[in-house]
Structure 1
Amino acid sequence: MIFFLDGGEIRLYLFRSLEIMHLNHWNFYMLRCRSTILIVISLLSALAAIAQQPVPQPASARFPNIRASLDDGFFVLAEQQARGVLRAEPKEADKHEASLLLAHSLWGQKRYSEMLNLLKGSDGSPGHIYWRARALFELKQYGPAVKALDEAGDVMAESRYVPSALRLKARMLQSSGKLKEAEAACLQFADAFPSHSEWTANQFELAEIYTLQKRLPEAIGVYEGLAAQKSANVAQRAQLKLAHVLYTQGAAENFETARGLLKGLASTNQTRLAYRIDAYVDLAALEEKAGKQKEAGAVMRQAIRLSPDARQRVPLKLALVRLLLRENNTADALKLLEECRAEAPNETVAAELQLEKARALLQARLYDEANEAYQVYLDVASDPAGLAQAYFGKGLALWELERFTESASALDKAVKELKTPGDRADALFKAGDSFYQAGKFDDAEKRYRSFVTDYPAHANVPNALYQLGRALARAGRRADALATFQGLEADWPASEFSEKAALQAADVLLAGELWEDALAKYTAIGQIYTNSTAAVLSQHQRGLVLYRLGRYADAQLAFEAVASGHPDSEFVPQASYMRGFCLYLQGQVEEAVNTCQAFIKAYPDSEWTPEVIFWLAEQYFNQGAYADAEPLFLRIAADFKGHKLASRSLYWAGRAASAESNYVKAIERYSEVAKTYPESEILPQTRFAQGDALTELGEFARAVLAFEEIIKHYSESYLVNAAWGRKGDCQFSLAVDAPARYAEALNSYQAILDRPSSPMALKLQAEYKIGRCLEKTNVPDKAFSRYMNVVYTFINENVERSPYSVMWFTRSAFGAAALKEKEKAWLEAAQVYGRVLEANVPAQEEAAKRIEKIKKDNWLLFEESAEAK
C-alpha cells in the first residue's frame, strides 16, 4: 500500500536551458521515477503549505449524517452514531433528538423491546409517543399503542408526527379487526392530508378495509379512483387490485370485466413487469375458477416466460405443476418439476466475478496475473460491456508490462466496444501512448488526432496535442510537429503543456539544424516564460543550445559574449563557469582549471564551485546515469564537508543508489547523513527516503523505525503526516504474517485523523484505510462504519473535489457496498452505490452498472421492496 511521495529538497543553481531537458514528473504515491531535483523543490514547498485546522461542531451537526444513515437503511450505523452523540452529554434538545433517532435505528433493526426501554421515561413529547406506539404496534400490542396515540390528543395534533401517527393508528385498528375505526382514520387522513406522499397508500388501505367489510361497491369505487390517477404505477396497481376483487369477491358476471382488466395489463408492454406477471397469475386463477384449465395453464406459462428472477420463476412453475396435477397431466407436471430442480447456474455471475478478479489484480499491480485473468474472461464471456472493460484492463496491464504493441491492440478493441464517452476517451488516449512507446508513431498520430477530434472539450486535449507533436517529430515530420507545437502554444497558452510545447518546438528546430530559428525561439521563450532581458537571454540560450549539442567552442564564444557584453547581467557568473566547462570538454583541462580559479577569485563569496559539481551530478541523475551521478555527489560531500550542499549531496548519492535498486548502499548513505550531519535540515527527507528503501527490501519493521523518527523528532516537518501514513502502510504489510499488526496500523492512521494539520483528502484516506484494517480483522460492521464516514463526510461537508478526495470517497463507497454484497444485503448495497451516483463522481457510471446488475440479479427483492413502500 503506497501512501505518499517521498521527497528531498536540493537547491539548484542552474541555467534556464535546463528546461529543454526531458524532465519526469514525481508520482504522488512514490512510484520511483527519475525526477529532476529542481522539480522536487516545488513539490515539497507546495506540500509544506498544506494544513487544515479543525472546526469544532455541536452535536446537532452530526444529525444529518445519522438521518442519512436512516434514509439509506443503515440502522446499525445510525445506532452507533446516535449513541455517540448521547455519550457526549449534549444539550437537552440535542439529547432529545438523538434519542428519537436512536429509537428509529432500533426500530429498523426490529429491536422493539429495546425501543420501549429507551422511551420508558417518556417526556410526553410527540416524538416519544409516536415511537413508543410504533414499537407497540410491531409487538402487536395494538390496544396500548392506540390508547397512547389517543391520549396524546392536541399535543400530537400540533406536531410533525400527526400524519404518521394517524396512518399508524389506522393500520393498528385494521390489524386488530376494528375496521370501522380504521376506516374512519383512513378517511380522516385522506381529508386532512390530500397532498401527503402517503395519500395513495392510504387509499389502497381504505379499499382493502372496504373489501374486508364486504363493501365491494365502496372498494371498487376507491380502486376506480386510483385507476384514474396520472401515475401509471398507481393506475396499474389499482386495476390489478380491482380485477382481483371482481373475480374473487364478485359474482360470475364480473369475470368478464376482471378478465378484460387483467388481459389489458398482462399484454401491454408499458405495464410494470411485476404487475404484468401478477396479472397473468390472477388471470390463470380466474380462468381455472371459470373452469378453463387449458387457458389457465397457457396463461401461467406466459407469467413464467416473463419472470426474470429464478426465485419467482420457480414458484410460478410450481403453481403450474399443481394446476397440471389438478388436470391429471402428470407427465408435463414431472417435466416441469425437473426444470424447477435443475435450474442452470448463472454463468453471467461467474464471468462477472472473473472480471472483478482481473480488476483487483490490476489494482494490486500484479500485471502478469491481471493480464491472464482478463484473458480468461475474454475467452468465456459474451457481454459486450464486460468485454470492453476487459480489453481496456488488459491493455493497461500490458502497458505496465511494457508490452506496448499488445497493449495498443487491446486498447484499440476497447475503444471500439466502450459505450461511455469518458472510458472511450481514456482508452483512445492510452492507445496513442502505447503506440508511441512501441515506436509506431504513425499509429500513435492517428489515435491522438482522433482523440482531439472526437473529444475537443476534454481536459487532456493539450496533452494529446503535445504527444501528437512528439509523435510527428519522432516520425521525422518536423514541419508538422512544429506546426502542432505552435498551435498548442497559441490555443492553450495557460496550459502546463504550452511551455513544454515551446521547448519541444525549439528541439525540433535544433533537430533540423535551424540554429537561428532555434535561437529566436529560445529568445521568445525567455520573454514569455522568464521575463528576462531578451538580448542577454538570447545570447545565453544560444550558448546553452550549442553546449547541449556538443559544439563547445561555439558555446564558449557565446558565454564569453555574455560576460563581456553584459557585465552586469545576472548570467555572468553562470556564463563564467560554463565557459570553464566548455574548455574542459574541449580537452583544455589546464585552461579550464585556470578559468575556475579565476571564477573563484572574481566571486570569492560564491558557492558556485561545489554547486557546479552538483549540477553535473544532477544532469547525470536526471538522464538516468546514476552510476555517474553518485561519485559526483560523494565528491561534494568529501571535499566540501562544511558546505550547505554536503549533507544534501550524501542524501542524493543515496537516492542515486536507490534508483539503481542498490538499496543497501542507499541506506548506508542515508545513515552517514544522520551520523555526520545530525543537525541537517535534510534529515527528515533522509529518514523518509531511508524508510522507503527499507520497504523496497521488505524490511518493514526497520522502515517503521525510520518513519517513527520523523514523527518523534521532527514534529514540525511537513513530512509528519506522510510519515504516519507510511508507518501505517508498513504495519499493514507486516500484518500479513502477524495479524495483530492491523491494530497498530489502525492507530497510525487514526493519528492522521487526530492531527489538525492533516488535509481533508488525507483524512479521508486514513479513514478508508482504518476501514481496511477493520475489514482485515473481521470486524465488517465497524469497517462499514468507517467507509460510510468517508462517504457522508464527502457528501455533507462540501469537501473539495480534488482527485484524491474523490478517489478515497469512491474507494470507501465501493468498499462499503462490497461488504453489503458479501452479506447479500442487496438493498443496502444498492443504496451505497446510489450515494456514488448522488456525488456525481467519475465512478458513478460503474456504480450505476452495479446497481443495475444487483437489481437484475435480485429483481424480486427490489419489486417486493418497492411494493412495501
Structure 2
Amino acid sequence: MSDAQCDDHTSLALKHPFLGAKIGISFLLSDGARDGSVRRVMFVARFRFITIASLLLALALPALAQESKFYGKGKEAFKDGLYDVAEKQFLQLLEQFPGTARREEAVLLLAQCELKLGRWEEASKWLQAELGSDKSSKKYIDGYLFWLGESLSKGKQFVEAEKRYRQLIDQYPKSSHLAQTQYGLAWALHQTKRSEEALNLFAQLAASRDKAGQGVAQNAQIAMGQVYLALKEYDKATGIFRPIAGKTPPGKFAFEARYWLGLTAYEQKQFDDALAQFQQIASQPKVWPHWVLGEAWSQIGWIYWNKNEFEKSAQAFEQAITSLESEQKKRESAIQYGQCYLRLGKIDKALEKLMDFVKTHAAEPLAGDVQLAIADIYLSQLKYDDADREYGRLITNFPNHDSVPTAHYYRGWALFEQKKYEESIDEFQRSAASTRDPSRAVEAMYKIGDAYWKAEQFQKSMTAYQTVIDKYPDNPHVEEALYQILQAHLNLKNLSQAEVALGKLLDKFPASRYRDDSYLQIGQAYVKEGFYTKARTLYQAFLQKYPESRLAAKMTMELGQSYYLEGSYPEALDEFNKIALEDPPVHADVTPVAKYRRGLCLYQLKKTKEALDEFRDLVEKYKDSPVTPEVQFRIGEFFYNQKNYTEAQRQFDLLQTRYKDSPYADAAVYWAGRSAFARQGYTEAVQFFQKLLDTYPQSPWRADARFWQGDTLIEQGGPDAYSKALVVFDQLIREFKTSELAVEALGRKGDCQFTLLRYQEAINTYTDVRDNPTANITQKNHARYQIGVCNEKLGRTTEAFREYMDIIYDQVTPDNNVKPVTESYWFCRAGFAAAAIKKQQDQWGEAMKIYQRLIDANVSCSQEAQEQSRLIAENKMVPVLGQ
C-alpha cells in the first residue's frame, strides 16, 4: 500500500472512526504476512472497506438531501418574499442540522426573515448569539453587524444600533454593506437628537458617484428632506423633494419624493397643495414602490376629513384599505372609513360598510381590527347590548388576534354599564390575564374592584383593589384604590378598619386628595352609629393637624353636631359659635348652617327668644347663600315640630316665594299646605297643594299633595265635600299607580263612597284594597271590616259576619295554633261587630266564643271583651254593645 493510500485512509478514518478500526486490521495483516495469503487478505480488507464505505454513504445521502432541501426551499422562499415560509425552512434546518456548513448564511437569512415579519427582537437574538459563538467562521460577520444594527433600529434601540453600525464601519471599511450601514447610522444619529451629524452623513452619501451605491445616494437625498421635515424646516425639505419629484418619467424616487412633498404641505396645513401632490400619485397607472400609493390615498382621506367632506374622505379611505401595506394603517383607514359615515349621520351605513369589510376579509388579521372598530362604535353610541355582542364576535371569530385582550376589557365595560356585574368581572379578569400591556392589566383589575363594588360585594371589592396595589404598586390608581378600600370598610361598618385604611392612604400619600373627605366620612359614620367620642377624637385630631384645610370649618361644625346629638348643648354651642359669630364672616359657605344650629342649641337651652332672633337674622342676612334655602326649610321644619303651625307656614311660604328654583321649593309648598291644614286653614291648604301640582310636574311630593288635598276637602266639610274628595282620590289612583299612597287612596275612596251611601261601590273599592299585594295588614283589615259593615247596611248579615270572622281566623295557623296579633285596631272592631251580630240573633254562646278569642289574643280590647263576656254570663238579656 502506498503512502498516498495510507493518507487517504487516514483522512477517511478521521471522518469515520468505525471504518478506521476495520482498516487498522487490514494493515496488521498485510504487514505481518510474508506468504501468498497477503494478497488475499489485502483483497478481503479492501472489499470490506468498499462495502462499508458504500453503506455509510447510502445512509448519509438522505440526510444530506434533507439538509439541502431545507436550505434550498428557504432561500427560494426568501427570494420570493415569502418570509414566513422561509423562516420555517431555516428554523428546521438549524434545529435538525445545528452543525450544518450553511449555518452562518442560514442564520443571516433567518434574521432578515424575522425582521421582515416585524419580530426585531427575534432577529437580534439570532444575530447576537451567532456573533458570540466560538464555532462561527465569521465569514458573514459584516452582514451580521449590519442586520443587527437594522434590527435594533427597528426596535428603536438607536444607541445600541449606532454601536453596531460604527463597529462595521471601523472594522470592515470594504464591506459591501458599507453604504447601507452609513445610511442606517445617519438615521440612528437623527433619532438620538443629533440631526446635524445625520444631515452631514446623508449629504456625504448623496454626493457619492459610486455606481453601485446610487440607490443609497438617492435614498440619502430623500432622507435629508425627511430630516428637515421632522425639524419643521419646510422650505429646505421642499427644496430637496420638489426637484426629485419633477423627474420624468417618474420612477421610484420621484414617487417617494412627491409623497414627501405632499406631506410637507400637509404639515403646514396647505391642504390644497398637499391634495394636488397626493392625487398626482394616485392618478398614475403604475406606482412604485407600492407603499407610496396606499399612503397617498390615506393622506387624501385625511385631507377631505379635515375639510369636512366626509363622502370623499370615505372613498379615499376605501382605496387606502386595498393598497396600504401597513396592517396598522389599514386598520386606521378602515376605522376612519366607518367614522366618515358616522359624521354624515349614517351610523347604520357605517356599520354596514365595516361589517361587509369583515366578511370580505374574514381570513385576514385586519378583519379583527375592523371588528373591534364595529364594537367600539356601538360602545361610543351607548348601545351596550350591541357592543357586548360585537366584542363577543371578535373574541370568538378571531381568538388569536392581538386585540382580544382589548375586546375582553371593553366587553366588560359594556356589561358593567348594563349592570351585569358578575359577567363584567369575568371579562375584566380575562383581559387582565391575557394582555401584554401592564397599563391595560391595571385598568382591567381596577374595574374588577369597581364591579364588585357596584354589586355591593364590598369584601371582594377590597380584595380586588388590594391585588392591584400589590401587583402594580406604582400604578396611577393606587391612591384611588386605597380610598375605595376605606369606603368599602365604611359600607361594611368596619369603622376601626376604615381608620386603618386611612392610615395606609396617608402613609403613601400624605397630601392625598382624599385625606380630608376621608376624615370627615369616618367621623360622620361614627356619629351615625352613636360613637360620639370616637368621632370627636377624629375631628379634633384633624383640626390640630390641618387647621388650614378647606374642610376645617365643616369639621368644626361636625364636632359641634356630635355634642348636640349627645345632648351636650353648651359644648355644641361653643363649636357652632366659632363659625356663627365670626366677624367678619370667613366661612360664608357654612356660616348660615352654623347660625341655624346655634339657634337650635339656644332653643334647647331654653333661650327661645334668642333662638328665634338667630333664625330671623339668618334668613335676612344670607338670602343669597347656596345653603339658605335648606336652612330656611329646616327653620320651617323646626316650627312645625314645635306645633307652631302659623310660623311654620310662613317660613315654608317664604322659602317657596324667594327660592322658586331651589331643590327645597316643592317640599316647602307641600309643608306650607300641611302647616295650614294643621292649623285648620283648609282653604289655604287646598291652594298650596294645588300649587305644587301645577308648578312642579316632576316633584316627588305630588302624590302626597293630591292625597292631602283629598283629606283637606273632607275636613273642610260642606254638602259636596265627600264628592269632591272622591274625585281627588280617583285622580291620585290613576296618576300615581306605583305610589305607596295609591292603596291608601283606594281606602279613602271607599270611605267616601260609604259616606255617600254607595255601599256596593264601596265594597268593590275595599275589595281592591283587600286583594292588593302591596297593601299592609292595617289597610287590608280596614278594608275587610268596611266590606262587612257595607254588607250589614245592605242587609247581607251572613256575608258581613263571614268578613268579620275572616279577620279573626287569620290569627289561626294550619296546625291550629294561634299566632300573635300584628294589627289590633281593626281586629278588635271586627270581633265586636261579629259578636254583636250573634247577640242580635240571640246566639249568646257563639258571641261568648268570639269574645274569648279577643281575650286570648291579649290585645287592647281584651279587657272590654272580658267585660262583655261577664255580662253575658250573668244576664243573657244585655244591651248590644260594640256596634
Does the alignment reach a TM-score above 0.5? Answer: no
1 or 2 for the larger relative contact order (CA 8 Å, sep ≥6)? 1
TM-score range, shorter chain: 0.3 to 0.5
* TM-score with structure 1 setting the length: 0.32
Larger radius of gyration: 2
